[in-house]
Structure 1
């Protein structure tokens, strides 16, 4: 199986889409680095800066409008969604461009100084009011979760039949890539055992809360973008963040913040272990599919040393 390649577009193609959406230009379209699954461009319109993303995956941006409204209406610095549409086989989404660059490009000193503010934003985002919504797992355009329970979401998430999604035919990775079936199944059984601690908790989950989706000018966090939005245990986002900020002890800083704010998190260690297995298993198959063998081996060794 070859590594996944995101959709490729020329500047002229992007300009044509923008002309259809907005009318007359100019737009000053510029490619933006990053995005494993989307092709991203910045552009100008009426002296304002925007971002347009393209994906060949069905339903790639279906929930962004709901999520953007949910978060921005509650003061979370998330990119506002301004329009969506189809361009041939591709879906596109237009959002405001938040100033600053990716947090991953900040210096270690800047990341350390920004960590308290980042944890504060993460906490506020995870505790956003969800209104009359219901369900767990993937958030649908209506705002409802896709599954009645967290465990059902997990089972579906890692099921072999993923027809029509990014993971269609993913079991072939066991023979075509570095993905080891015995390792995956061992960690999956551990995930199901720890899931009982995560199951009772329903909050907003960003789903991909890592430094490429966090923006900063080096002095403050300027905004949050993208995500694999779901309802469930918010420690999934902490499990994502902790492995992506170098030597910083993200978990310790997180616990200190919760203590100062008087937020009690029952079964913290067990829930965090369940979240680590959930995010780790997904990352294992993703690294294998992308051909990132070194990252795969490092994560595999980490997961196997987690509690059983």
Structure 2
């Protein structure tokens, strides 16, 4: 299995899409770093900044449009969707551009200084009203979760048969990459033993809450972008941020903030460990597919050392 390649487009193709929705005059079309599954470009039109993304994965942007309405409608800075469409085999979305740079561009010290604001955003995400939808796992184009329970989602997400998805034929990775079957199965078994703690909790999960999907002007967080959005235990987002800012005391800061807000989190430790296993297991598979051996080894060691 080869590493995934993002779609490639000529500038003329991009211009045609933008002209269709905004009229002529799009300028400064510039590729953006980040986005492992999309080709992303920024551009300016009538002095306003926008982003256009292209993907060959079915349905991703319909969900993003739903999430955009959900989050921006509840006071969370997430790019507003302006247009959805198709060009040839590719789906695209045009959104407003949030100011600032990736938080990853700033020093570790600058990132740590913004931790209180990040914790506040995580708390708001966990409190998003999802009552108008149902289901667990990936948020579908209709705004509902794809599975009847969190357990059903976890089993399906780790099943061998992933036909038609990013993970099609992923068991080949056991032969062609650094992915180790015994390690994967050990972590999976631990994950299954934690499910009873995570299952009762259904909230919004961004699914990729880390420095490359968080924007800042250096003093404040200006917004969050992208996401592998799903319904389930919101502590998954906390686990993601902690693994990406592992020396910043994320967990302690989160618990302090919840205490100040009089928010009680039942079974916090057990749920957090379940969240680490869920996201970490996916990380092992992803890093192996992308050939990122250092990230694979670091995640492997962290997961195996976790105390269930």
Q: TM-score range by the shorter chain?
A: over 0.9
Could you say which residue in structure 1 is the equivalent of 2:300? 300
Take 2:278 and 2:109, find their aligned partners in 1: how far apart are those partners? 30
**Contact map agreement 1:40 1:52 (CA 8 A) in 2:** yes
Q: Are positions 1:149 and 2:153 aligned together?
A: no
* Helix, strand or coil at the partner of 1:184: helix
Where in structure 1 do 4 or more consecutive aligned residues deviate above 4 Å? none
* Helix, strand or coil at the partner of 2:74: coil
Could you say which residue in structure 1 is the equivalent of 2:274? 274
Could you say which residue in structure 2 is the equivalent of 1:34? 34
* Helix, strand or coil at the partner of 1:29: strand
Please report the RMSD computed on the Cα atoms of aligned residues, expressed in angstroms: 1.1
Could you say which residue in structure 2 is the equivalent of 1:172? 172
Structure 1: stretches of 5+ with no match in the other structure? none
Take 2:240 and 2:291, find their aligned partners in 1: how far apart are those partners? 20
Shift of residue 246 of structure 1? 4.8
Structure 2: stretches of 5+ with no match in the other structure? none
Take 2:277 and 2:119, find their aligned partners in 1: how far apart are those partners? 21
Cα distance change on mapping 1:26 and 1:271 into 2, 3 Å: closer
Cα distance change on mapping 1:174 and 1:110 into 2, 3 Å: same
CA displacement 1:152-188 (0-9 Å, x = unmatched) = 0101111111111101111111111110001000100
Take 1:26 and 1:110, find their aligned partners in 2: how far apart are those partners? 34
| Equivalent residue pairs, number | 308
Take 1:26 and 1:32, find their aligned partners in 2: how far apart are those partners? 16
Could you say which residue in structure 2 is the equivalent of 1:97? 97
Take 1:95 and 1:55, find their aligned partners in 2: how far apart are those partners? 14
CA displacement 1:14-43 (0-9 Å, x = unmatched) = 112212333322432111112111111001
Take 1:153 and 1:246, find their aligned partners in 2: how far apart are those partners? 27
Take 2:132 and 2:101, find their aligned partners in 1: how far apart are those partners? 35
Could you say which residue in structure 2 is the equivalent of 1:60? 60
Could you say which residue in structure 2 is the equivalent of 1:15? 15
Take 1:224 and 1:235, find their aligned partners in 2: how far apart are those partners? 17
Query: Equivalent residues in 2 for 1:61-210 (5 A)?
Result: 61-210=61-210
* Helix, strand or coil at the partner of 2:137: strand
Take 1:179 and 1:61, find their aligned partners in 2: how far apart are those partners? 30
* Helix, strand or coil at the partner of 1:50: strand
